Amino acid sequence: MMNILVLGTGCSKCKTLEKATREVVEKYGIDATVTKVEDIVEILKFNVMTTPALVVDGKVLVRGRVPSHDELKELLTTKFYQI
């Protein structure tokens, strides 16, 4: 099972990324847990200075922007395993 973290303090972009990530996981049946992390101390542990950020199994894949649904699908299915 994939562990997905959405890092963000609660801004609209952070909420948008969380919603989009949950939609992609559900739509494509991805075996993953999605957790929203709002604690700034926890966010900084990932060396992220610009939110929102997407962390998959401990790797920061996106920071400072909200990717499209298609990009999220690609990141969470094929591309992630090539990193």
Is residue 81 predicted with pLDDT exceeding 70?
no
Catalytic (active-site) positions: 11, 14
Q: Give ∠ CA 52-57-62 in degrees, rounded to 5.
A: 30
| 80 or 51, which is more confident | 51
What is the pLDDT averaged over residues 11-21? 97
Could you tell me the CATH number of the domain that includes residue 76?
3.40.30.10
Over the chain, what is the mean pLDDT?
A: 93
What is the pLDDT averaged over residues 47-72? 96
The domain tally of the chain equals 1
Q: 20-50 in b/e burial notation, b at 16+ Cβ within 10 A?
A: bbeebbeeeebebebebbeeeeebeebebee
Is residue 22 predicted with pLDDT exceeding 90?
yes
Query: What backbone torsions phi and psi does residue 30 show, to the nearest 5 degrees?
Result: -75, 130
Range of the domain at 54: 2-82
